[in-house]
Structure 1
Amino acid sequence: MSTRADFPRPVREIENLWIPMPDGARLAARVWLPEDAEIDPVPALLEFLPYRKSDGTTLRDSMRQPYYAGHGYAVARVDMRGSGDSDGVLDDEYTTQEHDDAVAIIAWLARQSWCDGNVGMMGISWGGFNSLQVAARRPPELKAILVIGFTDDRYADDVHYMGGCVITSQMLSWSSVMLAYNALPPDPRWVGERWRDMWFERLEGSPPFVEAWLTHQTRDAYWKHGSAGEDYDAIQVPVYAVGGWADSYNNSVPRLLAGLSVPRKGLIGPWAHTFPEMGGPEPAIGFLQDSLRWWDHWLKGVDTGIMDEPMLRCWIQDSVPPATFYAERPGRWVADPAWPSPNVSWWSYHLHGAGPANWLDVAPGTTLPRTIRGREGYSFDVGQWGSYGSPGEWPGDQRAADGEALTFDCEPVEKPMDILGYPELDLSLSVDRPLALVAARLCDVAPDGASTLVSWGLLNLTHRNSHEFPEPLVPGERYQVTVRLNVTGHRLATGHRWRVAISPTYTRHAWPSPEPVTLTVFTGAASRLRLPVRDPQPDDDALRPFPSAESSPPLAMETLRTPATRKSLRHDLIDGVTEYLIEDDAGRSRHVGSGMETDDRLMERYTVRDGAPLSLQVHIERTLELQRDEWRIRVETLSTMTADATHFHVS
Structure 2
Amino acid sequence: MRLLRLVPTAAAFLIAFAQPGFAEPVDSGVPGMLFDHDVPVTMTDGLKLRVNIYRPEKSGHYPVLMLMGPYGKDTSMADAPAYKASWAKLIAKYPDLCKQSSCRYIRFEAPDPERWVANGYIVIHADVRGAGASPGVLDPFSPRETEDYATLITWAAHQPWSSGKVGLLGTSFQAINQYQVAALKPEGLAAILPWEGAFDQYREIGYYGGILNVAWEYWWTHQVVPNQNGNAQTPLVDSINGGKDTGTPLSPEVLTQNRVDPVGAFAKHPFDDAYYRQRTPDGSRITVPQLDVANWTDWSTAGYLATASKQKWLRIQTGDHLTPFYSDDALALQKRFFDHFLKGVNNGWEKEPRVAVQVRRPEGTAWRNAAAWPLPGIQWEHYYLDATNGSMGPDLEHATPAQKTYPGLGDRLTFTTAPFTNETEFTGPIGIRLWVSSSTADMDIFAALRLIDPQGRDVTFTGNSDPNVPLDLGYLRVSHRAADPSRSTGYQPFHPHLVSEPMTPGQLYPVDVEFSEPTSIVIPRGYRLALTIQGKDFGYGPGADIVHANDYALPDAHNSGLFFAAHPNRDPALYGGTDAVATGGEHVSYLLLPHIPPGH
TM-score bin, normalised by smaller chain: 0.7 to 0.9
Contact 1:257–1:264 (CA under 8 A) maintained in structure 2 = no
* 2:292 partner SS: strand
Q: Which consecutive residues of structure 2, in runs of 5 or more, have no partner in the other structure? A: 1-27, 78-104, 460-469, 483-495, 539-558
Task: Measure how far apart 1:518 and its partner are.
Answer: 1.6
Percent identical: 27
Deviations 1:331-356 (A, max 9, x none): 111111111321322111111243x5
2 CA distance for matches of 1:361 and 1:149? 34
Change (3 A) 1:135 1:190: farther
Task: Measure how far apart 1:16 and its partner are.
Answer: 2.8
**Which residue of the partner structure matches residue 7 of structure 2?**
none
1 CA distance for matches of 2:129 and 2:370? 40
**Which residue of the partner structure matches residue 252 of structure 1?**
302
Deviations 1:387-444 (A, max 9, x none): xxxxxxxxxxxxxxxxx42211112112221222222111122211102111211111
2 CA distance for matches of 1:203 and 1:474? 42
**Which residue of the partner structure matches residue 426 of structure 2?**
419
Q: Which consecutive residues of structure 1, in runs of 5 or more, have no partner in the other structure? A: 279-283, 321-329, 379-403, 539-651
Give the alignment's Cα RMSD to 1 decimal: 2.7
Contact 1:16–1:190 (CA under 8 A) maintained in structure 2 = no
* Residue 305 of structure 1, aligned match among 339, 342, 348: 348
Task: Measure how far apart 1:307 and its partner are.
Answer: 2.3
Contact 2:76–2:107 (CA under 8 A) maintained in structure 1 = no
Contact 1:257–1:265 (CA under 8 A) maintained in structure 2 = no
Relative to the length of structure 1, the TM-score reads 0.69
Deviations 1:242-271 (A, max 9, x none): 1233x5222435xx2465342111112222
2 CA distance for matches of 1:431 and 1:88? 47
* 1:156 partner SS: helix
Which residue type is aligned with residue 219 of structure 1?
D
Deviations 1:578-623 (A, max 9, x none): xxxxxxxxxxxxxxxxxxxxxxxxxxxxxxxxxxxxxxxxxxxxxx
* 1:286 partner SS: helix
Deviations 1:443-462 (A, max 9, x none): 11111111232111110000
2 CA distance for matches of 1:362 and 1:524? 12
1 CA distance for matches of 2:345 and 2:131? 36
* 2:471 partner SS: strand
**Which residue of the partner structure matches residue 462 of structure 1?**
479
2 CA distance for matches of 1:261 and 1:135? 11
Which residue type is aligned with residue 192 of structure 2?
I
1 CA distance for matches of 2:353 and 2:213? 35
**Which residue of the partner structure matches residue 508 of structure 2?**
478
**Which residue of the partner structure matches residue 71 of structure 2?**
51
* Residue 370 of structure 1, aligned match among 379, 400, 403: 403
* Residue 430 of structure 1, aligned match among 423, 433, 437: 437
**Which residue of the partner structure matches residue 381 of structure 1?**
none
Change (3 A) 1:116 1:316: same
1 CA distance for matches of 2:174 and 2:286? 16
Contact 2:52–2:73 (CA under 8 A) maintained in structure 1 = yes
Change (3 A) 1:301 1:406: same
Contact 2:479–2:502 (CA under 8 A) maintained in structure 1 = yes
Which residue type is aligned with residue 492 of structure 1?
I
Which residue type is aligned with residue 503 of structure 2?
L
Task: Measure how far apart 1:309 and its partner are.
Answer: 1.8
Contact 1:369–1:520 (CA under 8 A) maintained in structure 2 = no
* 2:72 partner SS: coil
Matches within 5 A, 1:305-324: 305-319=348-362
**Which residue of the partner structure matches residue 589 of structure 1?**
none
2 CA distance for matches of 1:488 and 1:71? 36
Task: Measure how far apart 1:192 and its partner are.
Answer: 10
**Which residue of the partner structure matches residue 351 of structure 1?**
385
* Residue 268 of structure 1, aligned match among 287, 296, 316: 316
- Do structure 1's residue 164 and structure 2's residue 181 form an aligned pair? no
2 CA distance for matches of 1:208 and 1:267? 32
Deviations 1:520-561 (A, max 9, x none): 2121262111111223556xxxxxxxxxxxxxxxxxxxxxxx
1 CA distance for matches of 2:260 and 2:387? 51
Deviations 1:160-208 (A, max 9, x none): 311001224x043233233343263496879999623599853542243
* 2:123 partner SS: strand
**Which residue of the partner structure matches residue 583 of structure 2?**
523
2 CA distance for matches of 1:432 and 1:56? 52
* 2:248 partner SS: helix
**Which residue of the partner structure matches residue 398 of structure 1?**
none
Contact 1:427–1:480 (CA under 8 A) maintained in structure 2 = yes
Which residue type is aligned with residue 510 of structure 1?
A
- Do structure 1's residue 19 and structure 2's residue 10 form an aligned pair? no
* 2:115 partner SS: helix
Change (3 A) 1:233 1:375: closer
Matches within 5 A, 1:14-93: 14-36=36-58, 38=59, 40-56=60-76, 58-60=105-107, 64-90=112-138, 92-93=139-140
Which residue type is aligned with residue 497 of structure 2?
H
1 CA distance for matches of 2:579 and 2:383? 21
Task: Measure how far apart 1:298 and its partner are.
Answer: 1.0
Moved more, 301-310 or 70-79: 301-310
Change (3 A) 1:480 1:375: closer
The structure with the greater share of residues assigned to strand is 1
1 CA distance for matches of 2:47 and 2:257? 18
* Residue 176 of structure 1, aligned match among 210, 218, 221: 221
Change (3 A) 1:79 1:462: same
**Which residue of the partner structure matches residue 557 of structure 1?**
none
Task: Measure how far apart 1:13 and its partner are.
Answer: 2.3
Change (3 A) 1:413 1:358: closer
Contact 1:243–1:271 (CA under 8 A) maintained in structure 2 = no
**Which residue of the partner structure matches residue 630 of structure 1?**
none
Which residue type is aligned with residue 488 of structure 1?
T
2 CA distance for matches of 1:135 and 1:195? 32
